[in-house]
Homo-oligomer: A and B are copies of this chain.
Amino acid sequence: MSNMGNQLISNVFKALAHPTRIQIVKLLRNGELCVCDILPNLDSEQSNTSQHLTVLKNQGIVESRKDGSKVIYSIKNKEVYEMIDLVEAIILRQIEETKTSLSK
């Protein structure tokens, strides 16, 4: 029923379900970057990074264009930052809860 919808929705979450991919998205917050500038900021091999970029691209989170021999990536759907902010809010609340439950 709305089952296909849930599949599509979970695919987007899945694309964000990896620390390296979160890091990539964060790196692009201040504007586009070529792969060559992304790579040194990550703790991940070139081929692995390329695969992570493909995952993000397949879900429409980032897009890319070619510039000479370089490939420039940028954020395609900026909602992703609001999503990350919401997750951070959840995590902060969870941490608070843990703290208060420990101090009892």
Contacts and interface: CB of A to CB of B under 8 A. Distances in A.
Given A60-B94, A77-B93, A87 B19 contact: no
A87 B22 contact: no
The bracket for how many chain A residues form the interface is 35 or more
A17 interface: yes
B90 A60 contact: yes
Interface of A: 2-3, 5-10, 12-14, 16-23, 26, 43, 60-61, 77, 79-80, 82-84, 86-91, 93-94, 97
Given A12-B91, A79-B87, A83-B87, 18 more contacts: A3-B23, A3-B43, A6-B22, A6-B23, A8-B91, A9-B87, A10-B16, A10-B19, A10-B22, A13-B13, A13-B22, A60-B91, A77-B93, A79-B86, A79-B89, A79-B90, A80-B90, A83-B86
